[in-house]
């Protein structure tokens, strides 16, 4: 309990933010692979305690991956907020989407990290491809 309270007391490090989610989709390239990933959340402005729609669009180079399992792992940088993983559904256009809620942080912190974990089902890759996005919620 003491540890939990201590962890909760910190401040957001806004320098970590690398995705201005309220301005539109954010794009990252998976390290070491030629896969670009676009990530978006609606509705905007993005807030906690609201039903949110998450979408991921892998695209770009030749490694664009058919038949992939895509999971979103939501966490707060530097703070344990219980596991919050969402399995995204594939759409016909190659994007993936799902719904979820970001809990309100009792400490008032508002930075979240969404890690996109993409695992091909055909076993042609050793480990999953990952891309992470750090964004700030309005409240």
Contact positions vs Cu ion (CB under 5 A): 76, 79, 81, 105, 109
Q: How far is the CB of 43 from Cu ion (least distance, A)?
A: 22
CB nearer to Cu ion: pick between 64 and 79: 79
Helix spans in the chain (H)? 2-8
- Residue among 68 and 75 whose Cβ is closer to Cu ion: 75
Quick check: bond before 56 cis, omega within 30? no
Q: Rank residues 72 and 76 by Cβ distance to Cu ion and give the closer one.
A: 76
Q: Rounded to the nearest whole angstrom, what is the least distance from the CB of residue 111 to Cu ion in the complex?
A: 9
Provide the minimum distance between the beta carbon of 89 and Cu ion in the complex, in angstroms, as a whole number: 27
CA pair distance 54, 44, nearest whole angstrom = 11
Nearer to Cu ion, 48 or 55 (CB): 48
53, 42 Cβ separation under 8 angstroms? yes
User: At closest approach, how far in Å is the CB of 14 from Cu ion?
Assistant: 15
Q: What is the DSSP string of 9-49?
A: T----GGG----GGGS-EEEE-TTSSEEEEEEEESSS--TT
Which residue of the chain is nearest Cu ion when measured via CB?
105
Report the phi/psi class of residue 60: left, alpha or beta, with left for phi > 0 and alpha for psi in -120 to 50. left
């Amino acid at each position: 309990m003491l540890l939990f309270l201590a962890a909760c007391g910190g401040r957001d490090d806004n320098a970590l933010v690398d995705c201005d989610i309220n301005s539109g989709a954010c794009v990252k390239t998976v390290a070491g692979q030629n896969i670009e990933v676009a990530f978006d959340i609606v509705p905007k402005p993005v807030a906690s305690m609201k039903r949110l729609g998450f979408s991921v669009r892998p695209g770009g180079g030749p490694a664009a991956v058919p038949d992939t399992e895509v999971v979103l792992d939501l966490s707060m940088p530097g703070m344990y907020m219980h596991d919050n993983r969402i399995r995204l559904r594939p759409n016909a256009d190659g994007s993936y989407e799902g719904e979820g809620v970001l809990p309100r942080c009792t400490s008032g912190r508002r930075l979240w990290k969404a890690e996109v974990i993409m695992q091909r089902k055909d076993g042609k890759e050793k480990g999953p491809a990952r891309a992470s996005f750090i964004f700030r919620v309005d409240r």
